[in-house]
Structure formats: C-alpha cells, structure tokens
C-alpha cells in the first residue's frame, strides 16, 4: 500500500470528525465493507484514515489474529462520509442485508400530553420488551398512522424494498452529488428518530415515554400532535447512543431541546460516582421546567444558555473554561455548533476519539 500515491484530506478537523463518528456509530457498516472486499470472515473493522481517493480499514479476522490494513477505493466523488456509507450500503445490499438494519416495531398510542410549553410526551405500548435503563435509546419512527393490518402485504413490500435497494445502489454512482443528496433526503423525509425518555410500569405492563420537542411547524411535530388514543404507529429501526465513556471521571453534557430527553435519561440512570455538569442550550427558558422534572445526581452542575445568542459557541466555551478539568463529554446540538465545540474540546482539553462524543443532530440549513 503506497500512501504517497493518494491525496491527503486538507480539512483535518472534518476528517477526524468523520473517522470518530463512523468508528463510534457505524460499526456494522464498516464491517460490511471489509467483508465485501476480500475479508468475508472479518470480525472487527476500524476506519484508520481517509484520502481523497479512498480509505484504509484495519481488519481483524478473530480475537487471536493480527490486524490487517486494507485499502478501499471510493466509487463516488463528493462528501467523504457519503462515499464511505455508499461503500457500506453497496456491500450490505450485495450480502442481502437491509440498508437500515430494519427492525420494524409497532406501537399503540395510549395518550399524549404537553409536559412543558413545547415538549409533547407520547405514551406508547408495544409487544416487544422495552430496554431498561438505556439512556439514548431511540426509534426511527415513520411519520404515518397505520390503517390496515401491519402484516398485510409484508412479503410483497419486502420484495419491492430489496429490488429498490439494488436499483438505488447501481444508479447512485452515476448521479451528481446534488442529485444524490436530494434522493437521500427524500428517503428519510418521512422518518424521524425519537428517544425513549423512560419506561413506566402500569398494571404489569411497560409503557414507553417518547418526548417530542415542538418548535414551529415541522413534519415530526405535526405528526406527533395529530396522534390519537388507539392509533397504531411503527418504527423501522432503532439506535442507542454510546455513553460508556461517561462512567468515570469528570464529565460534561451539553444538550438543546432536541437532545434533552437523552440527557435527562442519562442523569436519572447515572453510573459514575462523580456528578456531571449539564449545559442546557434552550430557545425558550420556559423549557427549563423540563429539566426540573427529573432526579439528578446530587452535586450535578447546571448551566443555562439562550440559544438565540449571537455568540453561542463562545458562551459555551466560556462556561467550559470556568469548569474543572473535563475527562469526557457527550453533547448533541445543531451541526455547526457541534463542530465548533467538538474541535474546541479536542484541541484545548485533549478529548480525543470516544472521549469526545459531541454530535450534530440537526442543521439550521
């Protein structure tokens, strides 16, 4: 492997962010790439480096075998993360796997209520066991209400879905980056991730609290507000935030309204003798009432910042500068803001890799 033949990525911060994100959140995808490129028995795959022309994976066949570095050339041209995920999607389709690790789950809406001026809580019942004490567990909900039996046309729809996946993989490399982005957005425009806030036990049954932040007129918010008792809804996948790095040392949490359900679930299931510090980045201070509804570990430090501030990133940085030394961080914020805070923690507090899990959940643009 002659790395001199490959063009380095000039934006080092973007490259580091992508490597950390993919290694943290897309292990199945990286493993699929390795398995599709001559390592069918691969057990572990890790992204080591990215170049303009391709990427390098570290592949381990088993717990007792040595690591091998594998060069994977890109097929697309454009966004780095998109190129790697396309390699994964292509590999998974060839292996007969779903692009979204489909784990369809159905829910009955029991009721809904506004717990703060902008936070709507759905009470949902499902036949599958709910994960106990799982902060950051979320479902990818379809923004629909089912009016027919969930099992109707399942086999036919599954065949059509697999066929569309294969067509998608073949056509995508021949499209411009702008058209690819448009197609990708259209595929997820009617899907939203919402977090399991808590599991409640009612008369021997589990009830999921799913909190949805309402701000303006959005597809997810309008869907949530429209749900009635007895409606059947479904998710197509699920996801759990990686939070093991918060179990020791002084930790920092930063959350806006979208990610507060995860932050509060973390605090209520805290597994660290040292209490954390939480910075709330809120559009409306009235939402602070949401934070006041939970039981935080004794000694937890709370800070509030108005997200309308013109110097929002600097205000967060100023608070962090006033804090004790930070050993680990978790945050979920608007994309541009998340990049600034992640870069600051990496360069000024030496929080690297899994110790610096600051993610962009959404974008203003």
Residue 278 near residue 255, CB atoms below 8 Å? yes
- Spatial CA neighbour of 249 closest among 267, 233, 273: 273
pLDDT at residue 40 greater than cutoff 90: no
Instruction: Give φ, ψ of 344 to 5 degrees.
Output: -60, -45
Q: Is residue 91 part of a domain?
A: no
Q: Is residue 146 part of a domain?
A: yes
And the tokens for 112? 């809904």
Residue 254 near residue 358, CB atoms below 8 Å? yes
**Boundary residue ending a domain (240, 266, 293):** 240
pLDDT at 69: 93
Distance CA(18)–CA(9), nearest Å, equals 12
CA 360 to mean position of chain CA atoms: 9
- Look up the CATH number of the domain holding residue 171: 2.40.30.10
SS3 174: helix
- If you average pLDDT over residues 237-245, what whole number do you get? 90
CA 44 to mean position of chain CA atoms: 21
For residue 265, the tally of other CB atoms under 10 A from its CB is 24
Q: Are residues 55 and 39 in the same domain?
A: yes
Q: Are residues 44 and 120 in the same domain?
A: no
And the tokens for 327? 């050993």
pLDDT at 61: 85
pLDDT at residue 152 greater than cutoff 50: no
- Does residue 3 or residue 215 have the better pLDDT? 215
Alpha helices (H) along the chain: 12-25, 27-36, 80-94, 154-171, 177-188, 219-226, 260-268, 288-291, 312-321, 335-348
The domain total for the chain is: 3
- Look up the CATH number of the domain holding residue 264: 3.40.50.80
- Does residue 189 or residue 216 have the better pLDDT? 216
Q: How sure is the predictor about 182, in pLDDT bands with cuts at 50, 70 and 90?
A: low
- If you average pLDDT over residues 27-48, what whole number do you get? 89
Range in 33-37, 124-128, 323-327 the model is least confident about = 33-37
Q: Are residues 259 and 229 in the same domain?
A: no
Strand 44-50 with 301-306, pairing = unpaired
Residue 21 near residue 81, CB atoms below 8 Å? yes
Q: How sure is the predictor about 154, in pLDDT bands with cuts at 50, 70 and 90?
A: very low
pLDDT at residue 166 greater than cutoff 80: no
Q: Is residue 86 part of a domain?
A: no
Q: Are residues 354 and 251 in the same domain?
A: yes
- Look up the CATH number of the domain holding residue 30: 3.20.180.10
Q: Are residues 230 and 248 in the same domain?
A: no
SS3 20: helix
Own/partner long-range contacts of 351-354 (Cβ < 8 Å, ≥24 apart): 351/326, 351/327, 353/20, 353/23, 354/20, 354/24, 354/242, 354/245
**CA distance readout (Å), 225 to 110, 156, 268:** 13, 31, 27
pLDDT at 209: 97
Q: Is residue 84 part of a domain?
A: no
**Boundary residue ending a domain (185, 216, 240):** 240
Q: How sure is the predictor about 117, in pLDDT bands with cuts at 50, 70 and 90?
A: very high
SS3 113: strand
pLDDT at 99: 52
Q: Is residue 110 part of a domain?
A: yes
Distance CA(75)–CA(72), nearest Å, equals 9
pLDDT at 96: 67
Distance CA(343)–CA(358), nearest Å, equals 9
Q: How sure is the predictor about 153, in pLDDT bands with cuts at 50, 70 and 90?
A: very low
Distance CA(307)–CA(329), nearest Å, equals 19
| Tokens 């690790």, residue located | 101
Q: Express each pLDDT in 280-326 by its tens digit.
A: 999 888 888 999 888 899 999 999 999 988 899 999 999 999 999 99
- If you average pLDDT over residues 262-274, what whole number do you get? 95
Q: Are residues 156 and 252 in the same domain?
A: no
Global confidence as pTM: 0.76
Distance CA(40)–CA(247), nearest Å, equals 35
Q: Is residue 90 part of a domain?
A: no
Q: Are residues 102 and 235 in the same domain?
A: yes
Range in 63-72, 90-99, 249-258 the model is least confident about = 90-99
Residue 69 near residue 55, CB atoms below 8 Å? no
And the tokens for 69? 């570095």
Q: What whole-number percentage of the chain has pLDDT above 90? A: 51
Q: Are residues 254 and 348 in the same domain?
A: yes
Range in 42-51, 85-94, 131-140, 184-193 the model is least confident about = 184-193
Q: Are residues 202 and 316 in the same domain?
A: no
Q: Is residue 231 part of a domain?
A: yes
Q: Express each pLDDT in 43-92 by its tens digit.
A: 999 999 999 899 999 999 876 778 899 999 987 776 777 788 778 877 87
**CA distance readout (Å), 126 to 28, 79, 119, 167, 170:** 26, 38, 22, 34, 37
pLDDT at residue 364 greater than cutoff 50: yes
Q: How sure is the predictor about 171, in pLDDT bands with cuts at 50, 70 and 90?
A: low
Q: Are residues 15 and 72 in the same domain?
A: yes
Q: Is residue 92 part of a domain?
A: no
Q: Are residues 206 and 113 in the same domain?
A: yes
- If you average pLDDT over residues 227-250, what whole number do you get? 92
pLDDT at residue 149 greater than cutoff 60: no
Determine the structural domain holding residue 62 and report its residue range.
3-79
Q: Are residues 234 and 249 in the same domain?
A: no
**CA distance readout (Å), 199 to 137, 196, 204, 293:** 11, 8, 12, 15
**Boundary residue ending a domain (240, 273, 295):** 240
């Amino acid at each position: 492997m002659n790395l001199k033949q490959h063009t380095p990525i000039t934006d080092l911060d973007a490259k580091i962010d992508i490597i950390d994100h993919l290694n943290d959140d897309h292990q199945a995808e990286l493993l699929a790439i390795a398995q599709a490129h001559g390592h069918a028995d691969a057990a572990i795959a890790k992204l080591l480096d990215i170049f303009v022309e391709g990427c390098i994976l570290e592949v381990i066949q088993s717990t007792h075998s040595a690591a091998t570095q594998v060069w994977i050339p890109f097929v697309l041209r454009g966004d780095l993360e998109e190129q790697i995920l396309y390699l994964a999607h292509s590999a998974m389709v060839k292996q007969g796997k779903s692009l979204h690790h489909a784990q369809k789950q159905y829910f009955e809406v029991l009721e809904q209520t506004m717990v703060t001026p902008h936070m709507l809580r759905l009470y949902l019942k499902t036949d599958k066991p709910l994960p106990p004490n799982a902060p950051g567990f979320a479902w990818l909900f379809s923004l629909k209400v089912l009016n027919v039996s969930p099992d109707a046309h399942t086999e036919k729809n599954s065949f059509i879905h697999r066929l569309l996946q294969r067509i998608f993989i073949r056509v995508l490399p021949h499209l411009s980056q702008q058209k690819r982005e448009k197609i990708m957005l259209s595929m997820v425009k009617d899907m939203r991730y919402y977090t399991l806030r808590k599991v409640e036990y009612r008369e021997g049954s589990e009830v999921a609290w799913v909190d949805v932040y309402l701000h303006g007129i959005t597809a997810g918010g309008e869907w949530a507000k429209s749900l009635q008792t007895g409606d059947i809804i479904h998710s197509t996948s699920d996801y759990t935030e990686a939070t093991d790095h918060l179990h020791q040392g002084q930790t920092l949490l930063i959350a806006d309204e979208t990610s507060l359900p995860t932050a509060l679930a973390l605090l209520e299931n805290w597994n660290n003798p040292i209490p954390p510090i939480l910075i709330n980045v809120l559009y409306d201070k009235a939402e602070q009432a949401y934070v006041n509804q939970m039981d935080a570990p004794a000694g937890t430090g709370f800070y509030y910042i108005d997200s309308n501030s013109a110097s929002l990133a600097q205000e967060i940085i100023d608070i962090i500068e006033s804090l004790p030394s930070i050993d680990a961080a978790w945050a979920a914020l608007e994309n541009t803001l998340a990049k600034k805070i992640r870069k600051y923690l990496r360069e000024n507090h030496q929080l690297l890799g899994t110790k610096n899990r600051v993610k962009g959940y959404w974008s203003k643009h």
